[in-house]
Amino acid sequence: MTAKRRVQSSAAAQDPDDQFLAGTMEAVAWARQNTQKLVVGIAAAVILVGGLVYYVGFREDQDVRAANELDQIQQTLVLGDPASAAGRLNQFIASYSGTSSEGEARLILGQLHLEEAEPDQAIQALAPLARDLGNPLGVQGAFLLGAAYEDAGQNDDAEDLYLRIANSAELEFQVRNALESAARIRTSQGNFAGAEELLQEILDGMEESDPARAGLEMRLSELQHLQRSA
């Protein structure tokens, strides 16, 4: 009986070394045709990595320099020279915008202007910081900004800000302080019902054993009396 031959495809019959050589030649040919693209791509990657390394190093160095300079400015305040400190803080904020020390500098400057009875300047310093209530410094800045609004006679702006803090703050005491501040403003404007609503909101969220309940309940009773008398 004659054995049947199996016909192999040319690819299967090709020697493995020949396949490797053919693949290598194709790669070389492609590289020759695309040499410029390869060079440009590698150069761009090197520049990008180098730029990132430089930027990270620059930011870290800038943060260190900012922290050191802010310490020096605070020493000026300790020596009792608020006018000089305010000028240096304004310059600091302009020079180190975006650093981790900018927020702290704005807090110090805002507090300084409040102490010097300069609410408009305090508002200018604190407003950018108070936009980010997800940042602990932002919440502190917002409370100071609310005080500056009150000192400037901008009670509506102060109330709106306190309510925004109450809706955004994560810590219970911050929420309580914000609601109490908004209630105080409403009371001063004769909006006793609105103030009562805020104080009741605070009481509803407090434990029965909370020592602060007694004071709030007394204030709430006074507001109810004022409403009946109005």
Tell me the C-alpha distance between 177 and 194, whole Å.
16
What pLDDT score was predicted for residue 2?
A: 47
Q: Are 93 and 106 in contact (CB under 8 A)?
A: yes
Q: Which amino acid is at 32?
A: R
Question: What is the average pLDDT across 195-221?
Answer: 92
Q: Mean pLDDT across the chain, nearest whole number?
A: 82
Per-residue three-class SS string for the chain = CCCCCCCCCHHHHCCHHHHHHHHHHHHHHHHHHCHHHHHHHHHHHHHHHHHHHHHHHHHHHHHHHHHHHHHHHHHHHHCCCHHHHHHHHHHHHHHCCCCCCHHHHHHHHHHHHHHCCCHHHHHHHHHHHHCCCCCHHHHHHHHHHHHHHHHCCCHHHHHHHHHHHHHHCCCHHHHHHHHHHHHHHHHHCCCHHHHHHHHHHHHHCCCCCCCCHHHHHHHHHHHHHHHHHC
What pLDDT score was predicted for residue 100?
A: 85
Least confident of 76-90, 128-142, 178-192: 76-90
Tell me the C-alpha distance between 92 and 97, whole Å.
8
The answer to pTM > 0.85 is: no
What pLDDT score was predicted for residue 38?
A: 56
What pLDDT score was predicted for residue 225?
A: 85
Q: Is the pLDDT of residue 25 over 60?
A: yes
User: In the structure encoding, which two tokens stand for residue 87, read together?
Assistant: 């000028």
* Per-residue pLDDT reduced to its tens digit, 50-90: 444 434 444 567 788 989 999 988 887 877 788 888 999 99
Comparing 28 with 48, the larger pLDDT belongs to 28
